[in-house]
Amino acid sequence: MLHVIESSSEVLVSLLQDLRDMQERPHCVLIEAPRVLVMSHDLPSRLFQQWSYKVLNVQARVGGMLSRDGPEEEEEDTDTLVSTALSMLLKLGNHLLKATKGSKMPPGSVLDEVPEMIVPQDILVQLLSRGDLLSPQQYLQAYHTPLHILMDSGLCM
């Protein structure tokens, strides 16, 4: 599952705390290994105006082409994968914003028109397996850990 949350930093941190608490419960198998792709602050406006979902039968890419056979073993670096996923989400958000403005059509039906804007399954699988993307626990630990900056080295000139 890919979930875009557009909210204040406080709400996002609260959601991550709830997610962490939910994962720490015994027998909780709803969410296996979440990762934080990006946190952006001071966005001028929301891109996704309403919450909706759609179960997709997403195909995996093979060398830039779509395939039903699954992902190739070719690994891309994390920066490229994150950039690709964010670029696709931005294009999808802009398309949804334009397509649903003043329309009573649900956002899920718009996805049928532009399947090329949906982040491919193999990119999501690769991102979830990356150790350099933070889990909610790691993000919260970094968020709540104070910075210890040495302001003065004790040397005078």
Q: Is residue 156 included in any domain, yes or no? A: no
Q: Which residue has the higher pLDDT, 14 or 41?
A: 14
CB 48 within 8 A of CB 6: yes
Q: Which residue has the higher pLDDT, 96 or 60?
A: 96
Q: Is residue 3 included in any domain, yes or no? A: no
> How confident is residue 107, by pLDDT bands cut at 50, 70 and 90?
low
The burial class, CB within 10 Å (0-12 / 13-18 / 19+), for 139 is: buried
Tens of pLDDT, residues 56-80: 665 555 554 444 444 445 578 899 9
What's the pLDDT at 68? 41
Q: Is residue 157 included in any domain, yes or no? A: no
Mean pLDDT of 122-139: 85
The burial class, CB within 10 Å (0-12 / 13-18 / 19+), for 122 is: buried
Whole-angstrom distance, CA of residue 22 vs CA of residue 69: 34
Q: Is residue 87 included in any domain, yes or no? A: yes
Supply the pTM of this predicted model: 0.70
Range of the domain at 65: 9-144
What's the pLDDT at 81? 92
Range in 112-116, 139-143, 148-152 with the lowest mean pLDDT: 148-152
What's the pLDDT at 104? 67
Tokens of 61: 């890419």
Question: Is 41's pLDDT higher than 80?
Answer: no
CB 125 within 8 A of CB 71: yes
CB 108 within 8 A of CB 53: yes
Q: Is residue 98 included in any domain, yes or no? A: yes
Give the count of domains, the chain. Answer: 1
